[in-house]
């Protein structure tokens, strides 16, 4: 494990440029950079901040930082594709910090302990209508409520959660976990009206006295493809299939099931088919694994459970239970091209998992609203449509359709709506400079051991929907959080304090970091060179108060 409070040995091979001495030409300066994990998170979480609290033994403080941005950490710890880990600087050393596993630990612990969400601000007197109780709608409602606004969600379905409830199987997301996090949002005062389909947005806004509306309808319409069929057998769409299974009315699939598509929904449909008794579940996908839209870990888990995948195949014709498929090949343009080589496959059922569209036809009569061909809504940089006061996000706008993206859109929409209600616009601030791996000097002791999340055995997966992946224990979560390198941000390792030859660094106390005593500092840059996380930069010695300071990458 990384011990970030010890091992303060000063490096022996420091290189110094000849700028120190009686006339100091440069001086050190503390400045925070943006960690790549934070930058990559679609929900905008302060990942590094809450990991630091976990490793310091403060799980509740960590959870409170986390829910500032994301009200459903137990859900995200299970279903997020964790792009934060793809950008973690530890990948160049051993492996990324298992951020999603620590997030799940915090989310589960909060449910177990009954931790309440932070109280909302004082009531603003403004009312906002949210249409859709999926991840984006729930997130927007949560953040709007915390900002002091009265929020009502109107949901066409019988339960809140959207595709988190109907589209993600229970073996990935247990419903008691989802329900617990939704109830916690409701406990803040968010009202959810179920079984209420909105057909006339403006009429609902006017009759309810709402000051703004946020559209957060999910993509529930399955895409279809024209396949010549002399006498088609049983053909289902994946969304309807997964929904029917969740509602306890699964269709009869037969022994051999084919799934057409290469996304996460295709992987789920295949795994569910196996659980329903299919002896063979075969995914047919027109591209190769490198170009599949499914997240790699989703495909790995499907293969683990005996799902077969025929890469570079497309269905040309169906005749009852017989399918003619054509082999494809990836061309120089990176796209699949037909080869003319055909083969025949047998399947009792075919499930189409080719993606989903949004049903936004009810917006066609709203003045100013523009729709794309796939049903998504055109919005400006404030997520507002062409109709003043009508905002949209999540699946309703062109974006990657994931739970985490939806939650991030909901948070941003809430802030944009809040600014709109105050007669302002939300300022768009570009992200700060990134703390990239080449800037780091991790001289402290590291341990590449990584705790893994156990999974239930294969036999238990075959016939039930018990959760497959198990979470981390408290000690494992603390250990994993301790692998964080704190890229770009001082974590008070005392390295600069111990290395300074002039005793020019003053400790300000726990959580307050340090300051430089420039009456002692010679500008030797020892503190800069030893800082493991690049929280110190060397800047030109100021000559006037108006001197423009620019960061340098070396002293």
Report CA torsion sign: 78, 80, 84, 88.
Answer: positive
Q: Which domain holds residue 539?
A: 1-32+490-555
Same-domain status, 283 and 364: no
Same-domain status, 143 and 209: yes
> Cα(323)–Cα(347) distance, rounded to whole angstroms?
8
Is 232 within the bounds of a domain?
A: yes
Same-domain status, 291 and 394: no
CATH number for the domain harbouring residue 264? 3.50.50.60
Is 178 within the bounds of a domain?
A: yes
Same-domain status, 286 and 375: no
Same-domain status, 86 and 208: no
Is 469 within the bounds of a domain?
A: yes
Look at residue 113 and give its three-state secondary structure: helix
DSSP-assigned letters across all residues of 409-435: HHHHHHHHHHHHHTT-----PPP--B-
Same-domain status, 265 and 187: no
> Cα(338)–Cα(460) distance, rounded to whole angstroms?
40
Neighbours of 390 (CB within 10 A): 24
Neighbours of 188 (CB within 10 A): 17
Which pLDDT score is estimated for 3?
Answer: 41
> Cα(365)–Cα(134) distance, rounded to whole angstroms?
24
Same-domain status, 67 and 168: no
Same-domain status, 194 and 227: no
Same-domain status, 203 and 237: no
Is 513 within the bounds of a domain?
A: yes
List, in sequence order, every beta strand (DSSP E) within 109-168. 127-131, 150-154
Q: By CB neighbour count within 10 A (0-12 exposed, 13-18 middle, 19+ buried), where does 230 fall?
A: exposed
pLDDT tens series, the chain, 555 aa: 344 433 333 333 333 444 444 578 899 999 999 999 999 999 999 999 999 999 999 999 999 999 999 999 999 999 998 999 999 999 988 889 999 999 999 999 999 999 999 999 999 999 999 999 999 999 999 999 999 999 999 999 999 999 899 889 999 999 999 999 999 999 999 999 999 999 999 999 999 999 999 999 988 777 777 777 756 668 899 999 999 998 889 999 999 999 999 999 999 999 999 999 999 999 999 999 988 889 888 899 999 999 999 999 999 999 888 999 999 999 888 889 999 999 999 999 999 998 888 888 889 889 999 998 777 899 999 999 999 999 999 989 988 889 999 999 999 999 999 999 999 999 988 888 999 999 999 876 566 666 678 888 888 887 789 999 899 999 999 999 999 999 999 999 999 999 999 999 999 999 899 999 999 999 999 999 999 999 999 999 987 443 333 444 333
CB contact set of 69 (below 8 Å; sequence gap of 6+): 43, 44, 45, 46, 411
Look at residue 254 and give its three-state secondary structure: coil
Is 427 within the bounds of a domain?
A: no
At CA 89, angle to CA 264 and CA 476, rounded to 5?
75
Which pLDDT score is estimated for 522?
Answer: 93
Is 148 within the bounds of a domain?
A: yes
CATH number for the domain harbouring residue 8? 3.30.70
Domain count, the chain: 4
Is 282 within the bounds of a domain?
A: yes
Strands 322-330 and 150-154: unpaired
Count how many residues are written for the chain.
Answer: 555
* Closest residue by Cα to residue 455 from 468, 440, 471: 468
Q: What is the DSSP letter of 466?
A: -
Quick check: 42 and 404 in contact, CB under 8 A?
yes
Look at residue 163 and give its three-state secondary structure: helix
303 φ, ψ (degrees, to nearest 5): -65, -40
Neighbours of 187 (CB within 10 A): 10
Is 416 within the bounds of a domain?
A: yes
Q: What is the DSSP letter of 263?
A: S
Same-domain status, 362 and 216: yes
Neighbours of 502 (CB within 10 A): 15
Quick check: 391 and 400 in contact, CB under 8 A?
no
Same-domain status, 452 and 512: no
CATH number for the domain harbouring residue 41? 1.10.1060.10
Quick check: 39 and 87 in contact, CB under 8 A?
yes
Same-domain status, 459 and 496: no
Query: The pTM is what?
Result: 0.88
């Amino acid at each position: 494990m990384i011990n970030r409070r010890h091992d303060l040995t000063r490096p022996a091979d420091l290189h110094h440029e000849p700028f120190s001495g009686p006339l100091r030409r440069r001086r050190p300066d503390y400045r925070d950079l943006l960690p790549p994990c934070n930058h990559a998170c679609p929900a905008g979480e302060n990942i590094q901040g809450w990991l630091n609290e976990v490793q310091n033994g403060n799980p509740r403080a960590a959870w409170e930082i986390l829910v500032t941005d994301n009200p459903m950490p137990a859900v995200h710890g299970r279903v997020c594709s964790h792009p934060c880990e793809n950008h973690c600087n530890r990948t160049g050393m051993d492996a990324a910090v298992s951020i999603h596993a620590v997030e799940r630990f915090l989310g589960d612990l909060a449910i177990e302990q009954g931790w309440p969400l932070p109280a909302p601000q004082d009531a603003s007197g403004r009312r906002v209508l949210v249409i859709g109780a999926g991840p984006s709608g729930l997130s927007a409602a949560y953040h709007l409520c915390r900002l002091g606004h009265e929020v009502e969600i109107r949901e066409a379905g019988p339960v809140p959660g959207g595709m988190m409830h109907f589209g993600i199987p229970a073996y990935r997301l247990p419903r008691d976990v989802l329900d617990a996090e939704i109830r916690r949002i409701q406990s803040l005062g968010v009202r959810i009206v179920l079984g209420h389909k909105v057909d006339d947005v403006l009429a609902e806004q006017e009759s309810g006295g709402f000051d703004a509306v946020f559209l957060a309808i999910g993509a529930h319409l399955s895409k279809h493809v024209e396949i010549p069929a002399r006498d088609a057998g049983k053909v289902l769409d994946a969304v309807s299939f997964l929904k029917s299974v969740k509602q306890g009315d699964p269709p009869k699939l037969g022994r051999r099931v084919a799934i057409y598509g290469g996304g996460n929904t295709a992987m789920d449909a295949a795994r569910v088919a196996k659980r329903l008794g299919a002896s063979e579940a075969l995914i047919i996908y027109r591209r190769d694994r490198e170009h599949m839209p499914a997240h790699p870990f989703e495909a790995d888990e499907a293969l683990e459970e005996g799902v077969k995948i025929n890469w570079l195949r497309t269905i040309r014709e169906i005749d009852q239970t017989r399918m003619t498929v054509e082999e494809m090949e990836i061309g120089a343009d990176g796209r699949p091209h037909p080869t003319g080589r055909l083969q025949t496959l047998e399947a009792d059922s075919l499930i189409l998992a080719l993606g989903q569209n949004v049903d936004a036809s009810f917006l066609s009569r709203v003045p100013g609203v523009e729709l794309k061909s796939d049903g998504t809504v055109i919005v400006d940089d404030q997520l507002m449509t062409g109709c003043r006061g009508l905002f949209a996000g999540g699946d309703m706008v062109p974006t990657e359709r994931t739970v985490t993206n939806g939650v991030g859109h909901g948070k941003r929409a809430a802030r944009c709506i809040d600014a709109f209600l105050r007669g302002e616009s939300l300022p768009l601030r570009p992200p700060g400079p990134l703390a990239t791996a080449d800037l780091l000097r991790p001289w402290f002791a590291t341990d590449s051991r990584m705790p893994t999340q156990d999974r239930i055995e294969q036999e238990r997966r075959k016939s039930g929907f018990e959760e497959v992946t198990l979470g981390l224990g408290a000690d494992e979560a603390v250990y994993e959080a301790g692998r964080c390198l704190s890229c770009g941000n001082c974590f008070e390792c005392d390295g600069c304090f111990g290395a300074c030859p002039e005793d020019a660094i003053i400790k300000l106390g726990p959580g307050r970091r340090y300051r430089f005593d420039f009456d002692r500092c010679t500008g030797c840059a020892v503190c800069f060179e030893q800082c493991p996380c690049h929280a110190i930069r060397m800047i030109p010695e100021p000559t006037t108060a108006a001197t423009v300071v620019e960061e340098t990458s070396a002293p």
